[in-house]
Structure 1
């Protein structure tokens, strides 16, 4: 989307809902609000950069999985897969809307220790009990199905090809924005620089824009991605969400595989999968470098590919010893340092301040269900489709971790 496509100035001086951030969650929540029976309020989405050049959404790898360690995260992704598979239906059967295709080659987790193999077996049983199609596989079973892997150090694996893989997340994002705007959602290219709270500190009363306008509001939604802590601080709230770098690489193989490559999570921390005629790999920085960065820090560590990513790929798939790097980029996770799970819902004291933060790399795949949930909360003061109470901010204040172990 080109810069300047949104106006800079809001049409009104009062809104029922002001959403701070117009990337995937600003788009999802605002679109879902237009779907809610009984909601007819004004919605303003404030996006600081309408080009979206540096936002997490455009740097996503557009993957979805059901291999989580928490039942609610499994259910969230199951609805995400339902939404993708029935995208046109959900978008009102608009003839302009394309079908989305979910490429179901699945995630493949590899275990190289008895402890991790046992963990995979435990979570596989949980996932199957919640309706996922995850298989727990021995190294021999994996070798029989995918003979191109080098498995000398691998004891077991989990794999699921049922509603698990990747899809065109950009199309989903674009149509939420387009459809929402056609239904009356107002987007502006501006920046929220201050939130004015009541004397009692129990609600946000005003939103101040960088251009000087001061708006009154009914509800404020923090959908600021890696900048979530900065937005929360304007309301006097601390939230443990920070930007963390994640690297993506596109490579070509001199000797391509004769079948799709599952999204393979190697014990090294490197993951890789098919991506059309190419392959995609991803990696966090080295552990000592995986720390908070500034929201505008997208400086790449070019040694990571040579020293970590390429060696891990070539070790796991010897056929990939001859590969050529085609493209690469740095993106940010909005990383919840507390328990790597989303923070969703109202603040317990600032009652009209709503979180949609801390997705720790799961944001795009969770956006259909969590956007719907936030819209339900705003409209009906309760969750009606999935109970998202476990993601509430109060767990952070009470130091009650709701951790998600399956984080890549």
Structure 2
């Protein structure tokens, strides 16, 4: 049997969230804190962070998500200072682009109005639009079936998720965090003491006080290694890039979230990027990253042309599939220790908005571990307790 190394904290998963947690732990914790990040794929080829679209928005129905996005946007805006190494700061290509949420029908419009009022109270600066307002602002868009919309404020936009990941990782390493190119394959309670012993795919064994689950779409499988039930599954998300024969004439094409058709569209330079969550597809994706090109031709393209007539003449140029870590109870994250196994700390289930929340969650989790309580952003409502009690905290968007 391999000898057992010791560490204070093992982080399972070293993509955006794991690297953010590692950085903030090392920044806030004692200097001699030993952190080992176990990441089986140092190329991050299939990491949820790498394959994410890279949007950041404040249009949520849960106040914590709004506040986390505000923190995240401000952090990304000054990331070249926050994560600089030897005076050289990283660049993540942050650009301001507002989100435009479209809704129709009494229930959806009422929900949009309620969320709009919450966002306004928290200083997000959204704008409420009626159908005539939409026609005036976006004459290239068909809005006959839209009853209302919300246009986001100045702290929404797009950035490069992979660049952010690498910035967190490099800074963490510069502070002394160790990365191990191995997967966690076993988790056992430490014999006669608090903590756990972690088995690795390279044959190594690590004894630590805590293991932090940052395994993204594989979070549920990782929790199961410790005999714990974590209702988080990988869910497929397609992204299609296409060129338009005659692009809509607009100075700033918003990031459209079409709740009527379940469609997302945004401009990407002289191209466009689109996807759809495909209602009813909350099934475990396993390791399926295959691209469904028929979906683009038979379902997505017609939806695109319905909303933006100019999209009838388009040519798809590339596509990929990423996995979201979906929280089945309520589409909100599960953060904090398991009540019956406190050595396992969950940082999971972000349901499509984890990348934008890496800075805020990284800091909050580090505060919880180092200080024993949240200090900057209170995420206590995201604890596992609500899962155990069967009391979901539903996020609409």
**Range class of TM-score, shorter chain:** over 0.9
Partner Cα separation in structure 1 for residue 154 and residue 86 of structure 2: 27
Q: Does 1:284 align with 2:277?
A: yes
Q: Does 1:244 align with 2:235?
A: yes
Q: Would you say the 8 A contact 1:33–1:39 is kept in 2?
A: no
* Counterpart for residue 79 of structure 1: 71
* Aligned with residue 386 of structure 2, among 380, 395, 401: 395
Q: Secondary structure at the match of 1:109?
A: strand
Partner Cα separation in structure 2 for residue 238 and residue 159 of structure 1: 38
* Aligned with residue 260 of structure 1, among 252, 267, 278: 252
* Counterpart for residue 365 of structure 1: 356
* Aligned with residue 221 of structure 1, among 212, 220, 225: 212
Q: Secondary structure at the match of 1:32?
A: helix
Q: Would you say the 8 A contact 1:203–1:350 is kept in 2?
A: no
Q: Secondary structure at the match of 1:27?
A: helix
Q: Secondary structure at the match of 1:149?
A: coil
Partner Cα separation in structure 2 for residue 232 and residue 38 of structure 1: 27
Distance apart, 1:335 and its partner CA? 0.5
Partner Cα separation in structure 2 for residue 218 and residue 311 of structure 1: 53
Q: Would you say the 8 A contact 2:124–2:153 is kept in 1?
A: no
* Counterpart for residue 341 of structure 2: 350
* Counterpart for residue 177 of structure 1: 169
Q: 1:236 to 1:20 in 2, by over 3 A?
A: same
The structure 1 segments of at least 4 consecutive aligned residues displaced by more than 4 Å after TM superposition are: none
* Counterpart for residue 290 of structure 2: 299
Partner Cα separation in structure 2 for residue 37 and residue 190 of structure 1: 25
Within 5 Å, which residues of 2 pair with 1:43-54? Answer: 43-54=35-46
Partner Cα separation in structure 2 for residue 99 and residue 13 of structure 1: 36
Q: Secondary structure at the match of 1:351?
A: strand
Partner Cα separation in structure 1 for residue 116 and residue 16 of structure 2: 30
Normalising to structure 2: TM-score of the pair?
0.95
Partner Cα separation in structure 1 for residue 70 and residue 22 of structure 2: 21
RMSD: 1.8
Partner Cα separation in structure 1 for residue 62 and residue 223 of structure 2: 26
Partner Cα separation in structure 2 for residue 124 and residue 116 of structure 1: 12
* Aligned with residue 109 of structure 2, among 117, 138, 151: 117
Partner Cα separation in structure 2 for residue 395 and residue 32 of structure 1: 26
Q: Does 1:205 align with 2:192?
A: no
* Counterpart for residue 96 of structure 1: 88
Partner Cα separation in structure 2 for residue 329 and residue 37 of structure 1: 38
Aligned length: 394
Partner Cα separation in structure 2 for residue 363 and residue 113 of structure 1: 29
* Aligned with residue 188 of structure 1, among 172, 180, 203: 180
Q: Would you say the 8 A contact 1:108–1:159 is kept in 2?
A: yes
Gaps in structure 1 of 5+ consecutive residues: 1-9
Normalising to structure 1: TM-score of the pair?
0.93
Partner Cα separation in structure 1 for residue 3 and residue 310 of structure 2: 58
Q: Secondary structure at the match of 1:255?
A: coil
* Aligned with residue 21 of structure 2, among 26, 29, 33: 29
* Counterpart for residue 126 of structure 1: 118
Distance apart, 1:94 and its partner CA? 5.0
Q: Secondary structure at the match of 1:305?
A: helix
Q: Secondary structure at the match of 1:57?
A: coil
Distance apart, 1:63 and its partner CA? 0.3
Q: Secondary structure at the match of 2:96?
A: coil
* Aligned with residue 13 of structure 1, among 5, 9, 28: 5
1:193-250 per-residue CA deviation (whole Å, 9 max, x = no partner) reads 11111468x9542111122222110110001111111111121210000011111011
Q: Which moved more, 1:364-373 or 1:109-118?
A: 109-118
Gaps in structure 2 of 5+ consecutive residues: none
Distance apart, 1:325 and its partner CA? 0.3
